[in-house]
Structure 1
C-alpha cells in the first residue's frame, strides 16, 4: 500500500527555495510514497467562519480540504517571514482545522521543514507551524525536522534536488513521516 503525502508550501513566489525544496521531495520520494505538491494556496480566502458554511464553502477552500482529505500525512514547507510562519501557510492550517475536531488534519502525521536566508534556516517559523498544526489536530512528528540556512547563497546555482545533503535530510524526513502514516501500519 502506498502513502500519499500532501506538500503545502508557505511561499507563493515562483522562484521560492521552499517550493524548490518541495519539488525535491516530489522527485526523491521513495518507492511506495507519493508526495503531491498542492497548487492553489494563493486562491484560498482568509479563514472566516462566516464563509465556512456547509454547502457554501469557497471553491478554493473546498479543493484544499478535498486534497487534504485524500492525504495520509502532510509535509509543510515554511520559510520565515519576520520571524514567524507565513500567512498563507497559517491560513491553510486554519481551513484544514475545521470543522472543529473533524478537520482534514485531525490525527494525521505532519512534518515541517524549510529553508531561509538566515543562519538558522527558519526554525522559528517551522516551530510555529508545528505548534499551529498540532493545535489544529495534526499528529506532529516532532523528530522529523530539516532547517536549511543560507538559502539565497546555497541555492543560487544549485536546485535543492541536486544537493546531496539536502536530499538525504529530506529523504529521512519523508521516511519518518511515512512510518507515522496510518497507511504504513
Structure 2
C-alpha cells in the first residue's frame, strides 16, 4: 500500500519557488509514496468559529479537512513573509485543528520545508509552522527539515527538481515522513 502525503503550499503565486519545491517533491517521490499538492487554499475563508458549525461549514474548508484526513502524512512548504508563516498556511492549520482534539491533523505526521530569499531560507516561518501544527495536534517531525536560502537567485533559471542538492535533501525528508506513517507498518 502506498503512503499518501498531501502537500500544502504557503504561497498562492503560481510561479512561486515554494510551489516548485512542492512540484519537485511530487516528481522525486519514491515508488511507494504518492504525493499530491493541494489546490484550493485560496478559497478557504479565514477561520471563524461562527461559521465552523456542523451543517454550515464552508465547502472549501470541508474539502481541505477531508483531503488532509485521507492522507497519511502532511508536507508543509512555506515561504517566509515578514519573518513568519504566510496567512494562507496559518489559516489552513486553524481549520485543520478543529474540532479541538479531533481535527484532521490529530496525530498525523507533518514535516515542514521551504525556501526564501533570505540567507536562512525561511527558518523563522518554518519554526512557526511547526509550532502551529504541533499545537493543532500533529505529530511534528522536528528532525525532518529543509531550508533553502537565496531562492530568487538559486531558482532564477533552475527548477528545484533540477538541483541535485535540493532533491537529495528533499528525498530524505519525504522518506523520513513516509516512514512515520501507519501505512508503512
- The reply to whether TM is greater than 0.5 is yes
Query: Structure 1 length normalisation: TM-score?
Result: 0.99
Once residues 6 and 47 of structure 1 are traced to their aligned partners in structure 2, the CA distance between those partners, rounded to angstroms, is: 21
Once residues 184 and 113 of structure 2 are traced to their aligned partners in structure 1, the CA distance between those partners, rounded to angstroms, is: 21
How far apart are 1:57 and its partner, in Å?
Answer: 0.5
| Equivalent residue, structure 1, for 2:140 | 140
Moved over 2 A (4+): none
2:49 is equivalent to residue 49 of structure 1: yes
- Structure 1 gaps, min length 5: none
Once residues 13 and 57 of structure 2 are traced to their aligned partners in structure 1, the CA distance between those partners, rounded to angstroms, is: 26
**Aligned to 1:6, what secondary structure does the other structure show?**
strand
Once residues 24 and 55 of structure 1 are traced to their aligned partners in structure 2, the CA distance between those partners, rounded to angstroms, is: 37
| Equivalent residue, structure 1, for 2:167 | 167
How far apart are 1:137 and its partner, in Å?
Answer: 0.4
How far apart are 1:99 and its partner, in Å?
Answer: 0.4
Show CA shifts across 1:44-91 (max 9, x none): 000000000101110100100110110000000010000000000000
- Structure 2 gaps, min length 5: none
| Equivalent residue, structure 2, for 1:77 | 77
| Equivalent residue, structure 2, for 1:5 | 5
Query: Structure 2 length normalisation: TM-score?
Result: 0.99
* Structure 2 counterparts to residues 15-26 of structure 1, below 5 A: 15-26=15-26
**Aligned to 2:7, what secondary structure does the other structure show?**
strand
